[in-house]
């Protein structure tokens, strides 16, 4: 479907839903919709990114297909959402990466791993076991690592930030909202608990008719696993530069503990999510984006697996190769972050901030009504 068609279909559905409103207690999308009578493209993109895809409104809809009104909010918003990420992507020239995303990311990852492996092999320390003095950094100087990864990290942040700005302008939200602490804090709580992935309280609809909390559970493992891994790296960097303590660290040291816990979450979480994805009722999902979802899941999984393997085998001759592979994967992960499924979290969070702001204003306008 073209962007214009997706907007048209979303507009049609939101008009149906706004005349119905039966789902208003299920999530944030419907109350946000009710604040409007007509929907601009920006409004629709906002609603699409606010939707967590729990599926409740599809299972609960009296007008779902085969009804002639053919209302399928989760699928329609999923399509619009993925399409919007393409349009917001910075630089625009790379937005094409979202299409055939699985292939694109696989190629970039493979290339990145190959380059790391190749350059490592040329390092004189490569053939030495890791026990050689200098450990990790005999193979690649820490400053080079920091520069390379700092660089790709800064790029990812910049690209994501500029994409986010396009989203924010598109939905017509003033920059000031991002500076207000209340909506931000509300959104942190809503996103952190995946409040709206609960189908209004029972869980989300995965396989069959019985809602469950499977996806939310594995998403928490994934997300918090990612956060812990990121924290591990950050602590290690601080150790290195502030305390002058160099890797490898002892098993009970903070970076290793955080990394191990995070790594475990980042293994179990994505596997659970991938399984949930496979069994999910196809009627509710945007099957054309399957590659993108799978690519991101696989990248996270590879990051965690190679990281954990590195930890386990760091005292063996396999260490050098593993380090190269791990770095290759992480490098590719960050490089492709702005063009991967990762962005869903960014836009969703931003949409939640806006929603929190709108709700607060609404309450202020109608005191006493809650």
Partner 1 sequence: MNAASVPTFPPVDVLVIGGGNAGLCAAISARRAGASVLVVEAAPKFYRGGNTRHTRNMRCAHDAATESLSGPYTEDEFFDDLLRVTQGNTNEDLARMMIAESKEMLDWIVQQGVRWQPSLGGTLSLGRTNSFFLGGGRSMLNALYLTADKLGVDVRYDAEVLDLEIDGGRCRAATIKHPEGLRRIEAKSFVAAAGGFEANIEWLKEAWGPAAENFLIRGTPYNRGALLRLLIDKGVEQVGDPTQCHAVAIDARAPKFDGGIITRLDCVVFGIVVNNRAERFYDEGEDIWPKRYAIWGRLVAQQPDQIAYIVFDASSLELFMPSLYRPIAAASIGELAGKLGLPPEKLEETVATFNRAVQPGTFDDKVLDDCRTEGLTPPKTHWARRIERGPFYAYPVRPGITFTYLGVRVDARARMHMADGSLSDNMFAAGEIMAGNVLGRGYAAGIGMTIGAVFGRIAGREAAAHACR
State the residues that interact with ligand SF4 by CB under 6 A. 16-17, 20-23, 26-27, 29, 51-57, 60-63, 71, 73-74, 196
Residue 37 contact, options ligand SF4, partner 1, none, Cβ 5-8 Å cut-off depending on partner type = partner 1
Question: Is 294 strand, coil or helix?
Answer: helix
Q: Which of 64, 94, 247, 311 binds partner 1 (CB under 8 A)?
A: 64
Local structure of 88: helix, strand or coil: helix
Phi, psi of 142, rounded to the nearest 5 degrees: -60, -40
Closest CA to 332 of 282, 359, 291, 298: 298
At its nearest, how many Å lie between partner 1 and the CB of residue 59?
A: 6
Residue 369 interacts with which of ligand SF4, partner 1, none, CB < 5 to 8 Å by class: partner 1
By CB under 8 A, the residues from 141 to 200 that bind partner 1 are 200
CB of 38 to partner 1, least distance (A): 9
- Comparing CB distances to ligand SF4, the nearer of 57 and 322 is 57
Pick what 52 binds: partner 1, ligand SF4, none; C-beta below 5 to 8 Å, kind-dependent.
Answer: ligand SF4
Nearest alpha-carbon partner for 108 in 336, 303, 337: 336
Interface residue with partner 1 among 1, 63, 100, 264 (CB under 8 A) is 63
Cβ 282 vs Cβ 288: under 8 Å: no
Q: Is 67 exposed, middle or buried (0-12, 13-18, 19+ CB in 10 A)?
A: exposed
196 binds, among ligand SF4, partner 1, none (CB under 5 to 8 A by kind): ligand SF4
Q: Minimum CB separation from ligand SF4 for residue 267, in Å?
A: 27
> Which residues 279-338 are close enough to bind partner 1 by CB under 8 A?
none
Q: Does 26 bind partner 1 (CB under 8 A)?
A: yes
Q: Helices 3-20 and 41-50 meet at what angle, rounded to 10? A: 70
17 or 323, CB closer to ligand SF4?
A: 17
For residues 83 and 320, give the distance between their C-alpha atoms in angstroms, rounded to a whole number: 41
Task: Dig out the tokens for 103 from the structure.
Answer: 């292939």
From ligand SF4, partner 1, none, interface partner of 66 (C-beta below 5 to 8 A by class): partner 1
Q: How far apart are the first and last CA of the chain?
A: 39
CB of 272 to ligand SF4, least distance (A): 19
Sole binder of partner 1 in the list 3, 59, 274, 311 (CB under 8 A): 59
Q: Verify binding: residue 365, partner 1, rule CB under 8 A.
A: no
Instruction: Judge contact between 42 and 171, C-beta under 8 A.
Output: yes
Among 2, 4, 68, 122, binds partner 1 (CB under 8 A): 68
Tell me whether residue 24 or residue 213 sits nearer to partner 1 (CB atom). Answer: 24
Place of tokens 């003095």: 133
User: Where does this chain touch partner 1 (CB under 8 A) — which range of 23-31, 155-163, 289-297, 306-314?
Assistant: 23-31
Task: Kindly list the distances between the CA atom of residue 2 and the CA atoms of 80, 84, 88, 216, 346, in Å, as whole numbers in the listed order.
Answer: 9, 11, 16, 31, 23
Give every CB contact of residue 324 below 8 A, 6+ residues apart in sequence.
Answer: 113, 116, 117, 119, 120, 121
The nearest distance, CB 282 to partner 1, in angstroms, is 16
Q: Give, in degrees to the nearest 5, the angle at Cα 32 between 31 and 35.
A: 90
Please state the closest distance from residue 363 (CB atom) to partner 1, in A. 10
**Smaller CB separation from partner 1, 13 or 273:** 13
Q: Could you write out the DSSP letters of every residue in 167-191?
A: HHHHHT--THHHH-HHHHHHHHHHH
The verdict on 54 binding partner 1 (CB under 8 A) reads no
Closer CB to ligand SF4, residue 60 or residue 362? 60
Residue with token string 């990145």: 112
* Helix, strand, coil fractions of the chain, as percent rounded to 5: 75, 0, 25
Q: What are phi and psi of 104, to 5 degrees?
A: -55, -50
* Region of 72-80, 202-210, 224-232, 274-282 interacting with partner 1 (CB under 8 A): 202-210
Which residues in this chain contact partner 1 in the complex, by CB under 8 A?
15-16, 18-26, 31, 34, 37, 56-57, 59-64, 66-69, 200-202, 209-210, 366, 369-370
């Amino acid at each position: 479907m073209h962007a214009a068609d997706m907007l048209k279909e979303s507009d049609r559905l939101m008009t149906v839903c706004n005349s119905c409103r039966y789902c208003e207690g299920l999530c944030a999308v419907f109350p946000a919709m009710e604040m409007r009578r007509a929907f601009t493209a920006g409004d629709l993109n906002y609603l699409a990114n606010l939707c967590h895809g729990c599926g409740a409104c599809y299972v609960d809809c009296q007008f779902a297909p085969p009804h002639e009104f053919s209302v399928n909010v989760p699928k329609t918003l999923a399509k619009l959402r993925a399409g919007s990420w393409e349009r917001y992507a910075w630089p625009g020239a790379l937005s094409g990466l979202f299409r055939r995303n699985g292939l694109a990311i696989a190629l970039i990852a493979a290339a990145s791993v190959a380059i790391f492996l190749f350059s490592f092999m040329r390092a004189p320390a490569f053939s030495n076991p890791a026990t050689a003095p200098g450990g990790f950094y005999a193979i690649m100087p820490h400053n080079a690592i920091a520069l390379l990864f700092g660089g790709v990290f800064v790029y990812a942040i910049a690209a994501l930030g500029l994409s986010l700005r396009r989203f924010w302008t598109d939905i017509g939200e003033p920059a000031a909202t991002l500076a207000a602490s209340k909506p931000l804090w509300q959104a942190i709580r809503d996103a952190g608990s995946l409040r709206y992935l609960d189908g209004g309280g029972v869980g989300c609809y995965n396989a069959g008719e019985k809602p469950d909390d499977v996806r939310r559970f594995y998403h928490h493992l994934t997300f918090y696993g990612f956060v812990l891994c990121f924290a591990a790296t950050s602590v290690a960097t601080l150790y290195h530069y502030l305390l002058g303590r160099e890797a490898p660290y002892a098993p009970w040291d903070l970076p290793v503990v955080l990394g191990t816990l995070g790594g475990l979450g980042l293994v179990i979480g994505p596997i659970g999510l991938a399984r949930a994805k496979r069994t999910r009722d196809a009627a509710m999902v945007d099957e054309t984006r399957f590659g993108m979802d799978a690519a991101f899941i696989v990248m996270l999984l590879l990051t965690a697996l190679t990281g954990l393997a590195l930890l386990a085998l760091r005292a063996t001759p396999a260490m050098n190769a593993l380090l190269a592979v791990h770095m290759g994967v992480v490098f590719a992960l960050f490089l492709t972050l702005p063009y991967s499924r990762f962005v869903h979290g960014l836009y969703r969070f931003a949409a939640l901030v806006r929603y929190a702001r709108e709700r607060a204003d609404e309450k202020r306008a109608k005191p006493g009504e809650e």
